[in-house]
Amino acid sequence: MYQNIKTHCDLLISKFDSISPERKILLAEIVEYIRNKKEQNQAINLVYVCTHNSRRSHFGQVWATVAAHYYNVTDVFTFSGGTEATAFNPNAIAALRTIGFEVSEEANSENPKYLVRFGENETTTCFSKVYDDSVNPKLNFAAIMTCSDAENNCPFIPGVELRIGTTYEDPKTFDNTPQQSEKYLERSNQIGIECLYVFSQILNSK
């Protein structure tokens, strides 16, 4: 893991106390799901879902894989999807780059694929897609709903073992305002803190 990413993770874990007790109870469901998978020696598939799969769900996908590496929790595979495909939002990409992620466009299109690198051999691939896209798991996964629209508009997701709503405010509200960069980074950090907290509990359960 790149040192600047690790340093940022070190900063985020110092803020676990900012997570409310009610929120920790909610996140405990994800912790329990991951623990059960580990006990059964099964792959841990986490799919982060938001309506347009452009901002919060990508933050979830990226931070969950970073958190798994940070705490050395193996066999974790992270994905994202939406109820419709748009594109990975440039402001979300900019927030990740601010932290130190290397984000490179793999193909020039209206909905390009991006390689998000957080270490020499540590990457995840992000692009906007529907939650049941062919690259996403069809069975044995947790669907983590990052926005209320997706929670309300996806009444049924086939193959899901755990469906949980961990909704976050949409930074899109601040597009083209003086607060744009601040709010995207704030949302990225909030999701990062919670992903790191979840995986810290897996570590502590050993």
pTM of the model: 0.93
Short-list 65, 79, 78, CA closest to 119: 65
pLDDT at residue number 106: 83
The answer for residues whose C-beta is within 8 angstroms of residue 167's C-beta and 6 or more apart is 145, 146, 147, 148, 151
pLDDT at residue number 147: 80
Measured in degrees and rounded to the nearest 5, phi and psi for residue 175 equal -55, 135
Q: Which domain holds residue 70?
A: 3-204
pLDDT at residue number 144: 94
pLDDT at residue number 173: 93
Q: Tens-digit pLDDT profile for the chain (206 aa)?
A: 999 999 999 999 999 999 999 999 999 999 999 999 999 999 999 999 998 899 999 999 999 999 999 999 999 999 999 988 999 999 999 999 999 999 999 877 888 999 999 999 999 999 999 998 999 999 999 999 998 665 666 667 888 999 998 989 999 999 999 999 999 999 999 999 999 999 999 965 44
CATH number, domain containing residue 152? 3.40.50.2300
pLDDT at residue number 89: 96
Cα gap 41→183, rounded to integer Å? 38
Q: pLDDT digit string (tens) for 84-137?
A: 899 999 999 999 999 999 999 987 788 899 999 999 999 999 999 999 899 999
Cα gap 40→31, rounded to integer Å? 14
Cα gap 160→88, rounded to integer Å? 24
In total, how many domains does the chain have?
Answer: 1
Q: DSSP string covering the chain, please?
A: --HHHHHHHHHHHTTGGGS-HHHHHHHHHHHHHHHHHHHTT--EEEEEE-TTSSSHHHHHHHHHHHHHHHTT--SEEEEEEBSS-----HHHHHHHHHHT-EEEESS-SSS--EEEEEETTEEEEE---BTT-TTS-SSSEEEEE-SHHHHHH-S--TTEEEEEE-----GGGGTTSTTHHHHHHHHHHHHHHHHHHHHHHHHHT-
Cα gap 187→59, rounded to integer Å? 8
pLDDT at residue number 204: 59
Residue 37 structure tokens: 């998978």
pLDDT at residue number 158: 82
